[in-house]
Amino acid sequence: MSKNQDDSHGFWWRAFHLYYDGFRSMTVGKTLWLIIGIKLFIFFVIIKILFFPNFLNSKCDTEQEKTEYVRQQLADR
């Protein structure tokens, strides 16, 4: 292995251990990361389901019908 490959492996290894040791020694931080994870789940999953239903599936059955519907809607504007 060349020196550059050793250095890059060493860098990534040191960076991984920096974060791994940091997260392992957290006390309050673990709770905060849990709260952040729950909020992201709510934002991206629950809100998508509630506010962004799959509109085209209710209007059209096939891909061709969906394509024509979108083309028609864009052309009318």
pTM greater than the 0.75 cutoff: no
Domain boundaries, the chain: 3-76
Higher pLDDT: 9 or 75? It is 75
Higher pLDDT: 4 or 52? It is 52
pLDDT value at position 3? 54
Q: Which percentage of the chain shows pLDDT scores above 70?
A: 90
Of 13, 14, 16, 12, the closest CA to residue 24 belongs to: 16
Distance CA 52, CA 48 (A): 5
pLDDT over threshold 80, residue 8:
no
Helix axes 28-41, 3-24, angle to 10 degrees: 100
| CA separation, residue 45 to residues 4, 26, 35, 37 (Å) | 42, 28, 15, 12
45-65: average pLDDT: 86
